[in-house]
């Protein structure tokens, strides 16, 4: 079984488990699950020292992390969210630009961001103290399985190459307890691990036992997927 096939098997098994246990809102397949207790997990993340000391954060755009974005805005952190599929020349939203016209809860939505948020490229962003990434499954070593698209890895490479993610940056995820698996997760050179797993009931601190994926390993993935270099330089027209 290839690495991609093994990840897909874990992904579908976790999606099915969440659905069977009634721990998810709607059909989880094909996306980061909107898990029961997402707000509690966000509040628990916000209780950590890593959160309290962070001045700038990038949070994934999935609904499961909506409350994470809202809390970051409410705490006056510079809060960035990627444009879906990195489909624009300036591929990140600065959600703070929506305040005070929107409440933090409203500004944390994709609809508000797509309608009115300031768009920025990596050259206009602050160094990131915290990155919150969605996951379908994660283990205690920090290895993760996403929803099956390459965009989180491309964002990671883009921001690493720009110097916005470095060894000081904490990478976290919020998930349901059922999404934490007790098994090895296959990893490729472009994959990144998380430092912090937060569920509605616990905080898991992961050891940094593997070198972080480099921008160089992501460059080919970005070029193949989007026709761009990791810093967002277009080599073809995006549709």
Q: What are phi and psi of 200, to 5 degrees?
A: -65, -15
32 pLDDT more than 60: yes
Q: Which residues share a beta bridge with 116?
A: none
Q: What is the pLDDT of residues 78-100, one digit of tens each?
A: 999 999 989 999 999 999 999 99
Task: List the structure tokens of 129.
Answer: 């103290």
Distances in whole angstroms, Cα of residue 20 to Cα of each of 24, 61, 143, 148 = 9, 25, 24, 21
Res 117 pLDDT > 70:
yes
Per CATH, which fold does 3-226 belong to? Rossmann fold (3.40.50)
Give the closest residue to 226 by CA, choosing from 166, 163, 123, 149. Answer: 149
pLDDT in tens, 33-91: 999 999 999 999 999 999 999 999 999 999 999 999 999 999 999 999 999 989 999 99
pTM (whole model) above 0.75: yes
pLDDT recorded at residue 171: 98
User: Over 50: is that where the pLDDT of 233 sits?
Assistant: no
Q: What CA dihedral angle connects 103, 42, 49 and 72, to 10 degrees?
A: -20
The residue extents of the domains of the chain are 3-226
Per residue in 126-185, pLDDT tens? 999 999 999 999 999 999 999 998 899 999 999 999 999 999 999 999 999 999 999 999
Where on the phi/psi map is residue 13: left (φ > 0), alpha (ψ -120 to 50), or beta?
alpha
Asked whether 178 and 201 are in contact (CB, 8 A), the reply is no
């Amino acid at each position: 079984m290839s690495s991609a096939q093994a990840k897909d098997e874990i992904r579908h098994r976790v999606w099915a488990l969440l659905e069977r246990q009634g721990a998810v809102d709607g059909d989880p397949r094909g996306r980061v699950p909107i898990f029961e207790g997402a707000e509690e997990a966000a509040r628990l993340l916000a209780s950590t020292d890593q959160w309290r000391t962070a001045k700038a954060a990038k949070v994934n755009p999935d609904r499961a992390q909506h409350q994470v974005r809202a809390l970051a805005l409410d705490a006056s952190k510079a809060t960035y969210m990627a444009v879906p599929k990195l489909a624009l020349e300036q591929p990140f939203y600065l959600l703070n630009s929506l305040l005070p016209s929107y409440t933090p809860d409203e500004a944390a939505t994709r609809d508000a961001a797509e309608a009115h948020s300031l768009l920025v490229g990596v050259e206009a962003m602050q160094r990131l103290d915290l990155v919150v990434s969605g996951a379908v499954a994660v283990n205690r070593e920090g290895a993760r399985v996403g929803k099956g698209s390459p965009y989180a890895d491309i964002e990671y490479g883009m921001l690493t190459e720009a110097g916005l993610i470095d060894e000081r940056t904490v990478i976290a995820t919020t998930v349901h307890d059922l999404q934490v698996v007790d098994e090895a997760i296959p990893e490729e050179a472009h994959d990144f691990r998380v430092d912090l797993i937060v569920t509605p009931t616990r905080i898991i601190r992961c050891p940094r036992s593997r070198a972080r994926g480099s921008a160089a390993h992501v460059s080919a993935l970005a070029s193949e997927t989007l026709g761009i270099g990791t810093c967002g330089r277009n080599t073809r027209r995006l549709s």
